[in-house]
């Protein structure tokens, strides 16, 4: 990851994203990510012990499929 732990387009994303990484990618907060996971709104959720991770490919595919068509 780049300095300051910010995700940039030049950075390859890890296979499993932390809640912080997913929140940055979605441009939202940790709290919002946890709420979306509770509601079952995010794909690719993996729990390792108490740790919550999100599969990068599932999240990126979901973002691509969820985008709204551009206005004409």
- CB neighbourhood size of 5 (10 A): 10
What pLDDT is attached to residue 2? 47
What pLDDT is attached to residue 12? 81
> Domains plus CATH for the chain?
3-65 (1.10.1660)
Confidence at 67, pLDDT banded by 50, 70, 90: confident
Look up residue 11 and give its two tokens.
Answer: 């950075």
On whether the CB atoms of residues 59 and 21 are closer than 8 A, the answer is no
On whether the CB atoms of residues 31 and 20 are closer than 8 A, the answer is no
Q: 10-52, pLDDT tens digit by residue? A: 568 899 999 999 999 999 999 999 999 999 999 999 999 999 9
Average predicted confidence (pLDDT) for the chain: 88
For the whole model, what pTM was predicted? 0.77
Helix orientation angle between 19-26 and 30-39, rounded to the nearest 10 degrees: 100
């Amino acid at each position: 990851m780049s300095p300051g732990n910010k995700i940039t387009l030049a950075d390859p994303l890890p296979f499993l994203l932390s809640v912080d990484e997913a929140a940055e990618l979605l441009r939202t907060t940790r709290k919002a990510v946890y709420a979306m996971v509770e509601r079952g709104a995010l794909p690719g959720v993996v729990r390792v012990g108490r740790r919550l991770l999100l599969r990068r490919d599932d999240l990126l595919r979901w973002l691509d499929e969820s985008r709204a068509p551009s206005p004409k």
